[in-house]
Amino acid sequence: MGKEEERLIQPLVNAAYPGALASLSLAVLQMVKETGPLILRILLSLDSILFIVCAFFLFFYTIYPWKRRLWTMSAITFLSGLILSLSAVIGLIVT
């Protein structure tokens, strides 16, 4: 793969990682949609939204690497998504 192709594909690859986590959160949300408590559904919804926002920040940071705010925001949203994922797992275990 050439340098130009790698430069065009790299933003998509970087955004795919948190995008996969968002899709996993949505899959769990779909499973607990009917029987799960409201707080668990809210946690999973916010979790998937944070991972999707993180994917957008990573995509644009890969295109514009000099914009450090994009990197900071992607790190904050990713860590927040992980914390919400952990909270959702604990909520699933408790209920």
What would the pLDDT profile of 32-71 be if each residue is shown by its tens digit?
A: 988 889 999 999 999 999 999 999 999 999 999 888 999 9
Beta carbons of 55 and 18 less than 8 angstroms apart: yes
Q: Given this model, what pLDDT does residue 90 score?
A: 93
What's the average model confidence in pLDDT over 72-91?
Answer: 95
Amino acid 4: pLDDT: 77
For the chain, counts of helices (H) and of strands (E): 3, 0
pLDDT in tens, 3-43: 777 778 888 888 999 999 999 999 999 999 888 899 999 99
Q: Which pLDDT does position 83 carry in this prediction?
A: 96
In the chain, at which residue ranges do the beta strands (DSSP E only) sit?
none
Question: Tokens 């209920």 — which residue?
Answer: 95
The predicted pLDDT at position 44 comes to 94
Q: How many domains does the chain have?
A: 1
pLDDT at 1: 64
As a whole number of angstroms, the distance between CA 3 and CA 50 comes to 31
Residue for token digits 């990573």?
A: 58
Domain range for residue 31?
3-94
Q: Are 90 and 46 in contact (CB under 8 A)?
A: no
pLDDT of residue 26: 94
